[in-house]
Amino acid sequence: MPVVSVLMPVYNADRFLQEAIQSVIDQTFCDWELLIVDDCSTDQSFSIAQQFAKQDNRIRIFQLEKNSGSAQKPRLYAEEKACGKFVCSLDADDKWDSRYLEEMLNRQKETNADAVICRMWTFSEDSVIGEKMNPASDFDMSRILSGKEAYMLTIGEWTINAQGLLLLLLLLARKAHEVFQVPDKIINADELLTRQRFLCCQKVALCEAKYYYRSNSQSITKKFSTKHFGYNDTAKAMVDITIKYFGNIGVEYEKTEAQYWDYVRRSLRLYVNHYDEIPAADRNTILSDIKKHWRQIDGKAISKFNKKTYASYILGVNGMLNYYKARKICKKLLVKNKNIAQ
């Protein structure tokens, strides 16, 4: 039985997959298994994974029968197959420092934490190492957090970022999946799942181990898609979770409501800016869904947390819709005038 099960969902990542897998093989800590789940890639990803599996029996590969549409299902599928005491994730276009697992496990042993979060660094598509993303450079990495504290540090901004960075007891990972049901087809389901897992932890430690996050211009989250409107459902789910664990009074609730409002406001701006790219048959449905979320927002909670954003809330959905339309027209005119001047 391996100590750590590494979960790697894969979809059309043949440009980077070899580097990601190699970073696991190069670990100074060797008692691991790597579970690669291919989500019906149309490139050479599955073939690359097969080649590695032939050379290293610690690597197991699976392929889903049909594309799931998100990284959540293949990751959970891998988790079901996991045999390790701990699980952690590595995205197919990212990589680890060679001492990543060793340092994460040492920190867990030192603190007896249920979960360990590392430091995230950026690196470019041509593999040039960038800078620390989060936790920020001035964040105290010696801190031990409760699960609730860790959860709240992901609301609004990711003060700590555990998307794929979590070393977690497998039993707690499975418990979180039983307690919380993440809706299918949410583009950022991993973020929701990670936050939920914090709430199943008593103790969360931080560690200076390095996870390298690739700034990938081809990532689905970087391109416009109507799936992006699903962020509103995620934000609403976060409100429901916060109410369950913290109640609907207090700064935790107000902060989560403010985040919900920010998602809805941004989705309306997205709707206006990409209107021509949205299929005509979907436009009314998408706008109706945005309005539905708008009505569910607790304006009083927003006003307490951030009076500046509350001002845009009281304009109403139609007022903000007209504002974004006007701003879009102004931008076009500015570009046109600039071109004429040149």
Please report where in the chains the tokens 């995205």 appear, as a residue.
91
Q: Which residue in 91, 112, 209 sits closest to 169, CA to CA?
A: 112
Q: Which of 75-84, 186-195, 240-249 has the lowest mean pLDDT?
A: 186-195
Work out the average pLDDT over 220-235. 80
Both 211 and 255 in one domain: the answer is: no
Average pLDDT, the chain: 86
Both 47 and 196 in one domain: the answer is: yes
Contact between 147 and 201 (Cβ < 8 Å): yes
Instruction: Indicate the number of domains in the chain.
Output: 2
φ, ψ of residue 177 to 5 degrees: the values are -70, -35
Q: Domain boundary at 175, 203, 218, which?
A: 218
Q: What is the pLDDT of residue 121?
A: 86
Given a cut of 70, whether residue 217 has pLDDT beyond it is no
Confidence grade of residue 48 (pLDDT, cut at 50, 70, 90): very high
Q: Which residue in 192, 157, 236, 174 sits closest to 70, CA to CA?
A: 192
Both 139 and 243 in one domain: the answer is: no
For the stretch 100-115, pLDDT in tens is 999 999 999 999 999 9
Work out the average pLDDT over 12-16. 95
Query: Global pTM?
Result: 0.85
Q: What is the pLDDT of residue 187?
A: 64
Both 190 and 49 in one domain: the answer is: yes
Q: Domain boundary at 218, 253, 273, which?
A: 218
Question: Which is more confident, 211 or 324?
Answer: 211
Structural domain containing residue 318: 224-341
Both 28 and 132 in one domain: the answer is: yes
Both 27 and 153 in one domain: the answer is: yes
